[in-house]
Amino acid sequence: MSEPTRHQPWGTGRLAPYSSTVELPYTRTEIDAATQTTRYFDASGHCVDMDGHGTNESTSSPTATGADGGGAQPPAPADSDALEDHVPD
């Protein structure tokens, strides 16, 4: 019986680096337990200052479900939640 022909997966011939890649000044991150913020470290283990990397602004839009009795003083909703969304800088 002959050896089956092995082909390279079709997508690997199309691979190329992303044109917009950037070299980052850190190789490792960890969460600071006291401040609950990310700390960035270079390859030698030194902390890297990442000022100006941006923050997110959290927005919330409440929703409610349930029967509404109507009238001047409707009852509280039977169920409610908040949909969280983040707006980048």
pLDDT at 33: 93
Cβ(43)–Cβ(66) below 8 Å? no
Give the strand pairing for 56-65 and 47-48. unpaired
Question: pLDDT of 63-76, one tens digit each?
Answer: 655 555 566 777 66
Query: What does the alpha-carbon distance between residue 26 and residue 39 come to, in Å, rounded to a whole number?
Result: 10
CA-based end-to-end distance of the chain: 63
Integer Cα distance of 30 and 27 in angstroms = 11
CA distance 38 to 26: 12
Sole residue written with tokens 């409707």: 74
Q: Which regions in the chain score pLDDT beneath 50?
A: none
pLDDT given for residue 53 in this prediction? 55
Give pLDDT, residue 45.
95
Task: Break the chain into its structural domains and give their ranges.
Answer: 23-49
